[in-house]
Amino acid sequence: MPPRVRRSVEEARTIILDAAEEVLRDAGPAGLRIKDVAERAGMAHPNVLHHFGSREGLLRELTVRTMERITSRVVRAIGKSMLTTPADRVETLARVLDEVYEGDQGRLLAWLLISGRVERIEKPNLEPLVKITHAWRT
């Protein structure tokens, strides 16, 4: 048995969420099992439950993290486009959409939301996206 590794709560949660993302990408929403996530994270099954409470809690946190990552990438892409001319913004908009789907994040989020298995998620802070979108339009 490998020696126990002491991690901070945040580090353990990140490792578990990364593992859940990989399992979800490989197996789809219906195939996400806590046991598989724990194995991929190199932890025991109870550790995952300790940090997220349940499969639904894990899915909820994964959805929130994915939404935050996508929002952040879109804000960065639109921010970069502020340096272009209005005529070039159509091309920039295409790049923004590419940002959303980079690294399977868009597909992952769609799976999570469409599966109907995620309830009561906290919405990410969309204020930076709203502000930069309004600035982009002017």
CA nearest to 111, candidates 35, 75, 59: 59
Residue numbers of the domain that contains 116: 9-128
Residue 73 is assigned to a structural domain of this protein? yes
What pTM was estimated for this model as a whole?
0.71
Residue 31 is assigned to a structural domain of this protein? yes
Residues in the chain: 138
pLDDT tens-place values along the chain, 138 residues long: 456 678 889 999 999 999 999 998 888 877 889 999 999 999 999 999 999 999 989 988 998 888 888 888 778 777 777 777 777 777 777 777 776 666 676 667 766 666 665 666 666 666 777 777 777 666
SS3 105: helix
121: DSSP letter: P
d(CA 33, CA 90): 42
Residue 39 is assigned to a structural domain of this protein? yes
> Structural domain tally of the chain?
1
Residue 68 is assigned to a structural domain of this protein? yes
- For residue 25, give the CATH number of its domain: 1.10.357.10
